[in-house]
Amino acid sequence: MWPTRMNNFSLMRSLDIHEDPTFIPEVATSVTEDKSEAISPSDVIKQLTDARSDSARNGFSFKGIKDYLECYRSGKLTPSQVARNIIAMLEDCDKSTPPLRAIVQWDQEQIMLMAEASTTRYRNKCTLSCLDGIPVCLKEEFKVVPYHHRVGTVYLGTQPETEDATVAKKLREAGAIIIGVSNMHELGTGTTGCNPNRYHKIPRNPYNPNHFTGGSSSGSAAAVAAGLCPVAIGTDGGGSVRIPASFCGVVGLKDGMPPNMSDTYSCEVKFDQRNSEIYHPESHEGTFGRISCHGSLPLSYSTVSVGPICTSVADAAIVYSILAEPDLLYPYGLKQPRATLSDMCAPDLKGLKLGVDWTVFKACDAEVLSVCEKAVKHLQSLGASVVEVSLPEMEEARVAHVICILSEMRDFLQPDFNKHFHEMNLETRASLALASQFTALDYIKANRQRTRSMRFLQEIFSTVNCILTPVRSMRFMHLGNFTGIPGLVVPIGYSTTGFPISLQVMAKWWDEAVLLRTGLKLEQFRDQTKKPSIYYDILA
């Protein structure tokens, strides 16, 4: 979730910051709900699923939700047939050299039960949603029946789960086929995805199995890129959805962060997701945002959010619209404004202002910069205007983000650190040991910096709709988590060595709709999709 370059932490101590600290990136909604919206979200989803499939184009294209629905609706394949194909591919993944290690727990009987139920619904023309029969996987950070909730470790999840996380429950209610839980960096403590312990091993990048997937939602991105499923769910505390999505050449969406926390304090008590104890709302809590985190391990309460990894922006929008609903088990999201897909399918980008800090933007490899600059020009050709903006104090924000996320994880994992230290990977031990060196003053100073960074962004978003950056591991990722704004990464091309290159779009709090609108047009920039060296065509 943060860079391995653990330096410059004395920076915070040398600064004199007068702003009050912001411990949660809370911003009241400024999005005005249009009760007379011409096109409802369900109508937008129908447009997305009824549109001509990308597979009709010449050359390779990833199979997405539309492709599965076309097969089911036409009778070409049933969900049961698809499930049998997936099981065969999962067996092949485990036997390959090296093993893909995208899905680390799966159960043939469970997969077939869900698939057969979906097949019956299609036969009876009573499907539950546009996700009915769609294969999905969830990061091991979520509780999913009947798998072990190990969160990338060897010591957690000693017994199979008996209750789903909210996102798993919603996916089941939508008719999706959960094919298993996916690999992850141990406890989300890194951005490579490398997890050498006996239960997980190292997940492989489908574009080159000798390279990392990125992390910490490593297996989720690898599963989508390898064709095992068109949809995966991850979590993002410092790029943990967006980094692996970009490394693996697929789409990743990090949702926005919380509503005004004062709205939730009417709840006198809440339920501790890990220890099954009643505790007060002001005590340690999990993650926040559009999508409920109930049933995931609450590692960092102020930075982590849930997000989908998909084969396309359209698919990300579909999954987002289904999952981004209030959850009574998750009080922090009860006051969020209604999720909307307003104007997502607009024919152009006229009226949108895209902010670019060219100094920050150009801090990447020349080859990446060249492709990203051309992608920005593509968005301009569709009617968007590019406005030069300044993203101040990025290094201060980077350092403050690491202090916040590491301190919060160290706090939550204190019992684990004491009891299971020798069962943790060396990288996890080092990260948590480093966090123990931070003081209360460091944490307060970092959150004073959060106040400043959020104010800077509020000023920037008063003049532009989006901010654009390249994607280069952690360099451009931390700002979204630190301040709570949503972000979307979209693949736009490839390096000369064949690795994916992506562009990131960030928007103001609660405005995921403009991300998706921009992302739809951005993914049209890539004139050809290269087939990963590891790819399973489940629909063949």
Could you list the pLDDT tens digit for every one of the 540 residues in the chain? 444 444 678 888 889 999 999 998 877 766 555 544 557 778 888 888 877 655 545 689 999 999 999 999 999 999 999 999 999 999 999 899 999 999 999 999 999 999 999 999 999 999 999 999 999 999 999 999 999 999 999 999 999 999 999 999 999 999 999 999 999 999 999 999 999 999 999 999 999 999 999 999 999 999 999 999 999 999 999 999 999 999 999 999 998 754 333 333 233 333 344 443 333 333 332 224 578 888 999 899 899 999 999 999 999 999 999 998 777 666 556 666 777 787 888 999 999 999 999 999 999 999 999 999 999 999 999 999 999 999 999 999 999 999 999 999 999 999 999 999 999 999 999 999 999 999 999 999 999 999 999 999 999 999 999 999 999 888 999 999 999 999 999 999 999 999 999 999 999 998 999 999 999 999 999 999 999 999 999 999
Cα–Cα distance measured from residue 265 to residue 268, given in angstroms and rounded to the nearest whole number: 7
* Residue 358 token pair: 């060219």
325 is a domain residue: yes
**pLDDT score, position 53:** 57
Count of domains forming the chain: 1
105 is a domain residue: yes
What single DSSP character describes residue 148?
A: B
Residue 537 DSSP SS3: coil
Specify the amino acid at residue 315. Answer: D
Cα–Cα distance measured from residue 137 to residue 168, given in angstroms and rounded to the nearest whole number: 9
**pLDDT score, position 56:** 47
Q: How crowded is residue 158: how many other Cβ atoms within 10 Å of its Cβ?
A: 9
User: What is each CA distance from 6 to 218, 306, 513, in whole angstroms?
Assistant: 22, 25, 35
455 is a domain residue: no
Cα–Cα distance measured from residue 413 to residue 297, given in angstroms and rounded to the nearest whole number: 10
6 is a domain residue: no
**pLDDT score, position 188:** 97
Bridge partners for 270 per DSSP: 279
431 is a domain residue: no
**pLDDT score, position 59:** 86
Q: Which domain holds residue 339?
A: 40-51+59-260+287-349+485-525
- The dihedral formed by the CA atoms of 9, 12, 13 and 17, expressed in degrees to the nearest 10: 180
Among the listed residues 505, 502, 527, the one whose alpha carbon sits nearest the alpha carbon of residue 516: 505
Antiparallel, parallel or unpaired: β 251-254 and 353-356: unpaired
Q: Domain of 70: which CATH number? A: 3.90.1300.10
User: Which residues, in sequence order, are CB contacts of 37 under 8 Å at separation 6+?
Assistant: 340, 342
pTM over 0.85: yes
What are the residue numbers of the active site?
139, 216, 240
Cα–Cα distance measured from residue 504 to residue 491, given in angstroms and rounded to the nearest whole number: 9
- The dihedral formed by the CA atoms of 75, 80, 81 and 84, expressed in degrees to the nearest 10: 170
**pLDDT score, position 529:** 97
User: What is each CA distance from 511 to 29, 122, 148, 465, in whole angstroms?
Assistant: 9, 35, 35, 9
215 is a domain residue: yes
Cα–Cα distance measured from residue 220 to residue 231, given in angstroms and rounded to the nearest whole number: 8
477 is a domain residue: no
The DSSP string of 62-87 is ---HHHHHHHHHHTS--HHHHHHHHH
